[in-house]
Structures are given as C-alpha cells and as structure tokens.
Amino acid sequence: MVTPEELNLLIEQTYKVEKEFNELKASYAHLQDTVEKVVEFLPNAIWILNSDDTVFLQNSKARELWELLKLLEFKNDDYEVSFNSRSYLIKSSNYKNKNMLSATDITEQKRKENLATMGQMAAHLSHEIRNPIGSISLLSSTLKKRVLPENVAIVEEIQKSVYRIDRIIKATLMFSKGVEVSTRSFMWSDLKNSIDMSIGYYGYSKEISFIFPEKDFKLNADKDLLEMLFSNFMANAIDAIECDDNEEGSIEVVYENDGFYHKFYIYDSGVEIENKKELFEAFKSTKVKGNGLGLVLCREIAEAHGGSVELLDTDKKCFEIKIAI
C-alpha cells in the first residue's frame, strides 16, 4: 500500500525527471542547431553521411553540388576531383557510424598557380630570346643600308617581324615583374608621335585610316607605359581590321576630360570580339596570333595610373581607357 507521502514524492520525482528531460531535449536541439549553423557557415561543401550512405547533415553548398557527391569516395589521403569545369579538393573522415566528406573549390588557386608557372617560364624564354633578337635588329638596320633598293622592302618586313617579337618579350617580362610607374609631364602630341612610329613598325596590308585627337593636352604619367598601352590597342584594332572582309578600315581615338580622368575611347571597324569573358584573362587570346597578355597589361597599366580599361556595351566596338588626372 502506497502512502500519500510516497505518492507525492513519486509525483515530485516524475516532474523533476520530466523537467530534466525537457532541459536535456532543449540543450540537444540547441546543440544541433549550433552544429547546423556552423556547417552552413563553412566555405566548403560538407556532407555527413550515415553508415548506409544516406545524408544525415549537409549545408547549402553541398546541396548545390549534390551530383558531385556521386563521384566521391572515402580515401585516407586528400585528392582532387574535376566537376563542371571546376576543381575541388576532397577530404574525408569518419567517426563512429558517421562519415564526413568536404569539397573545397580550388579552381582560382590552381589558376593562379598555373599563371605563376607560365609567367616564370615565359620570362625565362623571353630573356633567352632577347639577345638574339637584339642582334637581328642591329644587323637588319645595317643590312638595310647596304642592300639593293628593290630588296629594302624585304629587310623592312624582317624589322617589322622583329618588332612584333620585341613587343611580346616586353609584355611578357612586364607581366612577370609587375607594372612600375615613373611619372613625368609630357604632351599628348609627343605620345601620339610614338604611337605613329609603333603603327609604322607593326605593318598591315589594308587601307586603314587613323583618327586621333587634334587638340594637344598635358599628361602626368609614365610615357613609356602609355605608349605600350596605346600600341597594344592599335595592334589589336589593326589585327581586327585585317581579319575583316572589307579592304578598308578605320581606327578612331576620341578624348574627353571630366576633371578627374583623361578618358580615351577607341573605336575600330574590324571584326567583333568573339569571347568577351576571356578578354582580360592572361595567356588566353581572342585572336589567332595573340599571346593573351596585351589587354591584361593595358588594364594593369591603366590601374597603375589610377584608372581603368573597359569594353563598353555600345552599338560600335568601343574600349574606354581612363587615366587619373
């Protein structure tokens, strides 16, 4: 026979156990919620799987890459997987009856590593090529003075080819070392004369008209770097016109000054740019005979001058170059 006192004590113990159970349940729910938030916060895709490979827990990045999970397997060492043109570093571990997989997107890291390796190789090759190219340039200048008049055009073609190679060497070395600006004052007319000279050396077969700003103005910048910038744009425009079906073409440079920037707009009548996404990607050229560094360096030169280079979305193909005043 249970006495009233024992019954009250039993009821009190039941309430106490229920309270502790509810507190434990709330604590577990809070812990589970915290774990889910931590997993969601992680920058990589996380899957926690049961022993039968069903998903126990995953974050939103893992949900986006659910097809990638089918390609993964448990390994003692980390490994890489390619999926949808991206590279992922895979790590795996297990605890009791749970298995965990993580996938970290390392595409950008690998791209930078590949660029650094390509840049080092290109810089080494450029150093090796520079001396013989210098000799060819010097000998061709001497040869031009001695050959028969009807052979001068052949020597000039050699000089133009050497000039193209020299441009590639300079661009490659600058890309590997980085852009360093040495600012001084000069007039636009001085820069235009240098651009005209580079156009003459570049060479082209079609009738091309060049339209430059007639008004003269002062620039405070690195003249050699701006010469490289504009020469690259002129070369690209010439190549675009050479690839066009028309036998004539035009290249126009328009100038504006808004008080903050020197703004140059470059138009050409050549073929359209096919892959605009790779326009400023190093070693990826949109041209048949490009090395993929011209526009990359143009942007770096402009940015080193506090400006920018952009392809504008207009009816006519137009690049905007901004140089800070």
Considering the domain architecture, whether residues 68 and 157 belong to the same structural domain is answered as: no
**Residue 124 above 80 pLDDT?**
no
Predicted local distance difference test score (pLDDT) of residue 277? 75
Both 13 and 154 in one domain: the answer is no
Q: Are residues 269 and 313 in the same domain?
A: yes
Residue ending a domain, choose from 85, 105, 125: 105
What is the average per-residue pLDDT within 282-299? 67
Judged by average pLDDT, the poorest of 24-38, 56-70, 147-161, 308-322 is 24-38
The domain boundary, picked from 105, 133, 148, lies at: 105
* Same-domain status, 325 and 201: yes
Number of domains in the chain: 4
Domain assignment of residue 37, yes or no: no
- Name which residue leads in pLDDT, 22 or 271: 271
Tokens of 84: 């949808």
The answer on 205 and 287 residing in a single domain is yes
Q: In terms of domains, do 99 and 168 share one?
A: no
* Beta strands 55-58 and 45-49, pairing class: antiparallel
- In this prediction, residue 192 carries a pLDDT of 94
Q: What is the pLDDT of residue 260?
A: 93
How much of the chain exceeds pLDDT 90, in percent? 21
Mean pLDDT of the chain, nearest integer: 82
Annotate 102-166 with DSSP letters as a single string. EEEE-HHHHHHHHHHHHHHHHHHHHHHHHHHHHHHHHHHHHHHHHS-GGGHHHHHHHHHHHHHHH
Does residue 138 sit within a domain? yes
Does residue 89 form part of some domain?
yes
Q: Is the pLDDT of residue 100 over 60?
A: yes
Q: How far is CA 63 from the centre of its chain?
A: 28
What is the pLDDT confidence band of residue 150, given thresholds at 50, 70 and 90?
A: confident
Residue 315 lies in a domain: yes
Asked if 271 contacts 149 with a C-beta cutoff of 8 angstroms, the reply is no
Distance CA 73, CA 75 (A): 6
Note whether 208 and 287 are same-domain residues. Answer: yes
Nearest Cα to 209, choosing from 268, 272, 273, 287?
268
Who wins on pLDDT, 49 or 76?
Answer: 49
pLDDT at 264 over 60: yes
On whether both 272 and 230 belong to a single domain, the answer is yes
- Please tell me which residue, 258 or 97, carries the higher pLDDT value: 258
Q: Do 25 and 51 fall within a single domain?
A: no
Q: Is residue 36 part of a domain?
A: no
Q: In the predicted model, is pLDDT for residue 305 greater than 70?
A: yes
Confidence band for 42, pLDDT divided at 50, 70 and 90: confident
Token output for 222: 């690195």
The alpha-helical segments, DSSP class H, found in the chain are 4-41, 60-64, 66-69, 107-146, 152-177, 188-202, 223-242, 294-304
What whole-number percentage of the chain has pLDDT above 70?
Answer: 83
**Last residue in a domain, options 124, 144, 177:** 177
pTM of model > 0.75: no
Whether pLDDT at 289 is above 60: no
- Are residue 159 and residue 209 in the same domain, yes or no? no
Q: What CATH number has the domain bearing residue 322?
A: 3.30.565.10
Question: 29-38, 75-84, 122-131, 238-247: which range is least confident on average?
Answer: 29-38
Q: Is residue 121 part of a domain?
A: yes
66: domain CATH number is: 3.30.450.20
**Residues 156, 202 within the same domain:** no
Query: Model confidence at 216, in pLDDT bands (50, 70, 90)?
Result: very high
What is the rounded CA–CA span in Å between residue 109 and residue 112?
A: 5
183 and 322 part of one domain: yes
Q: 83: domain range?
A: 42-105
Task: Give tens-digit pLDDT for 159-204.
Answer: 777 777 777 677 666 666 667 888 999 999 999 999 998 888 787 8
Q: pLDDT grade, residue 30 (50/70/90)? A: low
Whether 266 maps to a domain, the answer reads yes
Residue 230 lies in a domain: yes
